[in-house]
């Protein structure tokens, strides 16, 4: 029997102060993220909050700046909380050990940024033997410039992430598909 946990990655105020921050996709993301958290809680799936810390003095992710806290809209209920200082949520946070002690073998990935910490966590977790649901609509990212000057939209970046993860490292799914597959 599969035992699941929901990872809510880097939904922290640090992002709201980045120059690339945009509210364009935020309402849809917030609705998906809160529905996923609520659905997991109803199914007694543990919710893990993951926060990123960077100890560089000028980093918005430095906890001394006071921004390494959950964004105001995020539901406060969680079962476990970890701090990471690398892109993935597993290798330096103690999370992998906690998951294994709890007998969890299925991770549901959500949070910020789609192509960075969420995708990296999915890839590492897959390599560590976890089964992964990557709930793309419950991830958020932002437009980025390519080194050659082209601008990639958030939607294009998400589509690329879905392309490279699906069937290789994860099952890319919607909130509804993810929740439907969980044991009640």
CATH of 4-181, one of 3.30.70.360, 3.40.50.850, 1.10.10.10, 3.20.20.70: 3.40.50.850
C-alpha 173: how far from its chain's center? 14
Using alpha carbons only, what angle is made at residue 10 by residues 8 and 11, rounded to the nearest 5 degrees? 75
pLDDT in the model for residue 165: 98
- The alpha-carbon radius of gyration of the chain (Å, integer) is 16
- Give the separation between CA 67 and CA 14, rounded to whole angstroms: 5
What sign does the CA torsion over 30, 82, 84, 3 have?
A: negative
- 8 Å CB contact between 133 and 108: yes
pLDDT in the model for residue 81: 97
Within 13 Å, how many C-alpha atoms sit on residue 149's CB side? Answer: 0
pLDDT in the model for residue 184: 61
Report pLDDT digits (tens) over 22-32.
999 999 999 99
**Low-confidence spans in the chain with pLDDT less than 50:** none
Report pLDDT digits (tens) over 68-109.
999 999 999 899 999 999 999 999 999 999 999 999 999 999
- Nearest CA to 112 out of 182, 161, 177 is that of 161
């Amino acid at each position: 029997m599969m035992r699941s946990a929901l990872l809510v990655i880097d939904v922290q105020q640090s992002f709201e102060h980045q120059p690339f921050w945009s509210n364009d996709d935020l309402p849809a993301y917030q609705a998906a993220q809160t529905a996923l958290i609520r659905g997991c809680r109803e199914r007694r799936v543990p919710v893990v909050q993951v926060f990123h810390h960077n100890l560089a003095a000028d980093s918005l992710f430095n906890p001394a700046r006071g921004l390494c806290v959950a964004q105001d809209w995020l539901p406060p209920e969680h079962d476990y909380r970890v701090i990471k200082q690398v892109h993935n949520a597993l290798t330096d946070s103690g999370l992998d050990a906690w998951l294994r002690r709890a007998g969890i073998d299925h991770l549901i990935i959500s949070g910020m940024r789609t192509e960075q910490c969420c995708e990296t966590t999915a890839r590492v977790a897959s390599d560590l033997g976890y089964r992964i649901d990557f709930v793309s609509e419950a991830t958020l990212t932002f437009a980025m410039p390519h080194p050659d000057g082209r601008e990639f939209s958030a939607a294009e970046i998400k589509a690329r992430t879905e392309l490279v993860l699906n069937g290789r490292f994860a099952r890319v799914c919607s909130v509804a598909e993810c929740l439907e597959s969980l044991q009640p």
